[in-house]
Amino acid sequence: MVGKPLATIVSAGLSKFGRRDGLYWRELFIEAATEAFERCPNLDPRKDIKAIFIGHMGESYEHQGHTAPTIADWLGLTPVQGFRLESACASSGAALRCAVMAIASGLVDVVLVGGVEKMTHRSTAEVTEFLAMASDFPFEQWNGLTFPGLYALMATAHMHKYGTREEQLAMVAVKNHRNATMNPKAQFQRAITVEEVLKSRVIAWPLKLYDCSPITDGASCAILVRPELARRFTDTPVHIIASAGATDKIGVHEREDLTTLLSARVASQEAYRMAGIEPKDVDVAEVHDCFTIAEIMLYEDLGFCPKGYGGKFIEEGQPEIGGKIPINTSGGLKAKGHPVGATGVAQLYEVYLQLTNQAGPRQVSGAEIGLTHNMGGSGASAFVHIYKRGD
């Protein structure tokens, strides 16, 4: 039996992703929030919204912290209570989990949840340094490991243990770029080839430039309500029927098996149990493809294929639109872009479009059940949510 709704999405919005010169993150967030407000004319934001939960990884980019009140103020929502959640690249996954808990607790009826990051103010070297703060400092960073380097350690181990090939990693990038050409909000609008990926410059062997997600500006937003109230706001509700989070060791080197993202495994198993479904019941999923190897491991750790089969899974076209389970129809972090704090709720936005039949040329026909997996850093945190189209 499919689980009962914990909270219901009645609207969502997303800024254009990419390089957004001349904007500060508070202004970018308004772009996402106003789309969510305009989609939901029955919502009176000042009157209805009782709390805001915002994912935001870093104050370093703009020397600006105190995120929640800044957003409440610039949206004209003060004195609404606000919370900023930080869990590296899973910051808005964490915000979503907290928003669901707030509604399920019965303490608030209507919340705004979202995330934001404005990264291109800074040089690539500075951004790399800010992002690295989400990894272990005294051992990983101190020994010259970068984020691509940490995922490269996983890739080397996966290739050694399961025979996964660099071509198979490249196929993930090719699929996600192809999907992004059908998403006008995606950062990249150009299809690429396996050859191009393999020939791109090495960042951290075996990962190359096109195995890595880009530096992106963007914001995401959704309105969540108590399920009983959903019909007051929309005719096309999407229910959140499972919400789970997990952690893993901060140092990748301390994990027993480098080929498994344990936080994804634990959180997804809890979410499937809560939703009363199995992985094969999922019609569409957005997963955290910060690097191509991550998506391969997630096919396995989210239960879409057996352990070690991830390389074959992409080679057989199973995660393509039209395949067994379309994954990252938005273009994923790889091609839609990865404004780190915004990513978790941006994943929700894509699933919301898919389950309400608004995804245009990339629509998965008849999608009823969706899943998002948002990961922090090198997998030390993960949040998994499962969604069901409202009847």
Catalytic annotation, residues: 89, 338
Q: Does 156 bind another protein (CB under 8 A)?
A: yes
The answer to whether 34 and 13 have CB atoms below 8 angstroms apart is: yes
Among 28, 26, 12, residue whose Cα is nearest residue 216: 28
Q: Does 253 bind another protein (CB under 8 A)?
A: yes
Q: Does 132 bind another protein (CB under 8 A)?
A: yes
Q: Does 200 bind another protein (CB under 8 A)?
A: no
Closer to another protein by CB, 150 or 340: give it: 150
Of the residues 143, 195, 199, 361, which one makes contact with another protein according to CB under 8 A: 143
Closest CB 290 distance from another protein, rounded Å: 15
Closer to another protein by CB, 234 or 263: give it: 263
d(CA 222, CA 211): 29
Distance between first and last Cα of the chain: 15
Stretches 5-13, 38-46, 143-151, 355-363: which one binds another protein (CB under 8 A)?
143-151
Q: Does 146 bind another protein (CB under 8 A)?
A: yes
Of the residues 47, 142, 365, 391, which one makes contact with another protein according to CB under 8 A: 142
Closest CB 129 distance from another protein, rounded Å: 6
Stretches 21-29, 42-50, 221-229, 253-261: which one binds another protein (CB under 8 A)?
253-261
DSSP string spanning 60-77?
TTTT---HHHHHHHHTT-
CA 90 distance to own-chain centroid: 7
Of the residues 77, 154, 225, 364, which one makes contact with another protein according to CB under 8 A: 154
* Backbone dihedral angles phi then psi of residue 330, each to the nearest 5 degrees: -70, -15
Closest CB 310 distance from another protein, rounded Å: 17
For 313-318, the CB contacts below 8 A with 24+ separation are 314/168, 314/171, 314/172, 314/175, 315/168, 315/171
Collect all residues with Cβ–Cβ distance below 8 Å to 365 and sequence separation of at least 6: none
Closer to another protein by CB, 92 or 378: give it: 378
Q: Does 199 bind another protein (CB under 8 A)?
A: no
Binding string, 254-283, against another protein, x = CB under 8 A? x---x-------------------------
Q: Does 141 bind another protein (CB under 8 A)?
A: yes
CB burial of residue 280 (10 Å; 0-12, 13-18, 19+): exposed
# residues near another protein by CB under 8 A: 34
Closest CB 125 distance from another protein, rounded Å: 6
Among 140, 188, 233, 193, residue whose Cα is nearest residue 332: 188
| b/e per residue 159-180 (b: at least 16 CB within 10 A) | beebebebebbbbbbbbbbbbb
Of the residues 24, 139, 162, 309, which one makes contact with another protein according to CB under 8 A: 139
| Residue numbers at the binding site for another protein (CB under 8 A) | 125, 128-129, 132, 138-146, 148-149, 152-157, 160, 201-207, 251-254, 258
